[in-house]
Structure formats: C-alpha cells, structure tokens
Amino acid sequence: MKMTKIGKELLSQLTSETESGPFVTIMLNTHVAHQEVEKDQLKLKNFAKEAKKRFEKKYPEDDWSAFQGQIDQLMASQNFWRSATTSVALIFTPEKTFVHRLSIRVDDQYYVGDEPYLLAIIKNSQFNYDYFLLALNRDSFSLYENRNHNLVSIDLPAFAPTTLEKALGEELDKKASLTHSSGEGNTFHITVDKGEEEEIDHRNYYQAIDAFFRDEWQNERRIPLYMMGLAENVTLFAKLAKNAYLKRDVQIKRSPNQLTKEDLQENCKTIDTKLSEQEKKEYQNLANRKWIEQLADIKQAASLGRISDLFISTANLVDGYGDNPEQEYDWRQELNHLANEVIRMSGSVYLLDTEDIPMGKKILAILRY
C-alpha cells in the first residue's frame, strides 16, 4: 500500500495485539484563528460528553475517568491547539493518546468501540507522498521536505555547498589569479572564454551538490528526491547526478528563485498529480486478479485473512443506523471493522472515489489466493 510512512506505522500499531480497547476515536476539523480554536475546544468538550454516555452504556464495567483525564490534558494543551492542521484524529485507549494530524477535511464525529476508527486516517494517507524537493538554481540550491502536504525548509550543515562560491571558492580564486600574471619583468594576460569557464563552473558545482547528497546527506528514511529548476538546470543535474534517491520521471521545470514557500507548495502539485496518476493505474491492474464484491463474501474472506487489497468507495460513507437506532454510524462501523480486520491480517485498505476503484465498484476485495 502506498501511503505515508507515519500513517502506515500508526495503522499497524493500532491494529496490533499490543493495543487493546475499548477505543474512543474523535475526528475533528481544526483551525488556528483564536475564535475558531475556542469553537474547536467546545466541540471536543461536547464530543467527550457524548462519548462518555455511549461508553458507559456500552462498557458499564469499565472506568471512563482514564479517558476523561487524557481528553482534559489535550483541552489544556496550548501546543496541541497551536499546531493545528486541517483536521486531527484523536484515538484514546485506557492508557494511551494517539494524535494524528490530517491534511483533509473530515466529518466531525466520535466513535466508541472495540476497535479504533481508521477510515479517515487511511484516506488521509493516500496520495500523500513523502519526498524531498531540491530547489535548484544555477549558482545555489535549497532543500525542502514534503510531508502530509506540508513543505518544510531543511536546515543544511554549514559545509553544504548551498552556493557556487561555497563549493568552488578556492577554484574560482585560482582562476582569477591566472588572468593576470608577470614573468621576468613582463606582464602578460591569460585570456579564457568566459562562457566556457562559466559552463565548467556550472558542471563542477552540480557535481559538488551531487557529491554532498551521496556522501554527506543522511536520508535514513530513503525517501525520493525531486527537482525544481529551469529546464537547462534540472536536465544538467539529472545527467551528472549519481544519487540513488534522485527521481527523474517527474520534474518541475520552473525557476524556484524568489518563490515563496506557498508558491513552491503549489508547484509541488505537479509531482503529487503525477504520482497519484501512476498509483491509480496500478490499482486498475489489480482487477486482473481474483476478486469479490459481495459484502457477505468479503466479510468471510477478511476473517480468514484472504484479502490482500480492500477497496472502499467514499460513496459508502453515509450515516446509517442499521437495525439498532442506538448504534450510531452503524454502516461506517461495519466498513471500519472490515478495514481493521484486513490491516490486522497484513492486507491493504484503500478509501477512494468510486471511479478510481477497479471496475468502478463501491466495495471490492482482491484475494490472495
């Protein structure tokens, strides 16, 4: 499953045997403006009250106070409210609080059950790519990391060749000294073609950048590196570079010079769009394998660990009550249980628009055997 590493790790942890319920999940759209934050705090407080009622009805033998204590801590945390993203998934067990920031809008809701509510986390982690962006100029570069649709500037060490002068300083000085010399009392000039020298410097500088990324740069998570720069610059760097993490299939051919971080982020949509198109094509290829679409068959296959990939259409995410009006979001919980089971059995779950699911099905399971 192609998803952000942090999302994949969280899903794996929440469905592991080491985490036991009951679980209380609260999905909340969040804001940074002061007045909006107060509304968010009130919403969380009200959800906690409603969750308590459902919890005490569903788990009369268990103690709610452990959950309330964790919620109260979040309510009082200035850092939590200051760090707002588009939305947040809050998942509580009797012992732990999981805070997972999301870059998508969610339906403000709460869930109480034997399993955590995972569908929004799954949706947020799809088409959400971790990568580095090399903003490349002819005589300088800067580095950014894209994570959860948020571009962050990377502070590089002082020795990093962030400018041509830093990288080729001594070499440039030697060239300057050779343009005017004297021998045996006679002064002579060594003339060189300026354009040729600049091109040599250009190549040498890009080789110095590549050497830095290959030999000095720590890419422990092994995430890809994409380029942004004028066509002539990204073409030359791609030709010279030997960095195993550099991707050449998608390039942003525009000068990053004087662009704001917001402008850079907007341009990153070129990369995101290309990667998501590739991913959707891979999904369609799964239709060549054995598949099932009837819910009863899917439930049985999930319980036996036979599902490798489960596709759920976003069209399914409607409020449903089923046979018991007291059991809110019954249909969502049904789908959530399926997702939990498939992930627990090392399968992958996708929450997509119907047209992106193989054969346009509303729910589809690809079988392992």
| pLDDT for the residue numbered 326 | 53
Of 351, 344, 334, the closest CA to residue 307 belongs to 344
Mean pLDDT (whole number) for 176-187: 49
Highest mean pLDDT among 6-10, 136-140, 178-182: 136-140
Mean pLDDT (whole number) for 326-353: 85
Longest Cα separation, the chain: 105
CA dihedral 229, 124, 109, 15 (to 10 degrees): -150
| pLDDT for the residue numbered 18 | 81
CA distances from 253 to 109, 136, 137, 162 (A): 42, 10, 11, 20
Tokens of 95: 């012992």
pLDDT at 328 over 70: no
| pLDDT for the residue numbered 170 | 65
Query: What architecture does CATH give domain 289-368?
Result: 2-Layer Sandwich (3.30)
What backbone torsions phi and psi does residue 231 show, to the nearest 5 degrees? Answer: -55, -45
- Report the mean per-residue pLDDT for the chain: 88
Query: In sequence order, which residues have a C-beta less than 8 Å from that of residue 76 and are 6 or more positions away?
Result: none
Q: Who wins on pLDDT, 36 or 46?
A: 46
| pLDDT for the residue numbered 75 | 93
Query: Residue 369, Cβ neighbours under 10 Å: how many?
Result: 6
pLDDT at 88 over 90: yes
Mean pLDDT (whole number) for 342-350: 93
CB distance 367 to 292 below 8 Å: yes
pLDDT at 6 over 60: yes
Per-residue pLDDT band at 191 (split at 50, 70, 90) = low
Q: Who wins on pLDDT, 169 or 323?
A: 169
DSSP assignment string, 94-152 = SS-EEEEEESS----EEEEESS---HHHHHHHTT---EEEEEE-SSBEEEEEEETTEEE
| pLDDT for the residue numbered 46 | 95
pLDDT digit string, tens, across residues 58-85: 999 999 999 999 999 999 999 999 888 8
pLDDT at 329 over 80: no
Per-residue pLDDT band at 319 (split at 50, 70, 90) = low
Mean pLDDT (whole number) for 45-52: 95
Mean pLDDT (whole number) for 346-352: 93
Per-residue pLDDT band at 13 (split at 50, 70, 90) = confident
CB distance 254 to 267 below 8 Å: yes
| pLDDT for the residue numbered 168 | 86
The pTM of the full predicted model, rounded to 2 decimals, is 0.79
Tokens of 72: 């109260």
| pLDDT for the residue numbered 52 | 96
Please report where in the chains the tokens 């907007």 appear, as a residue.
Answer: 266
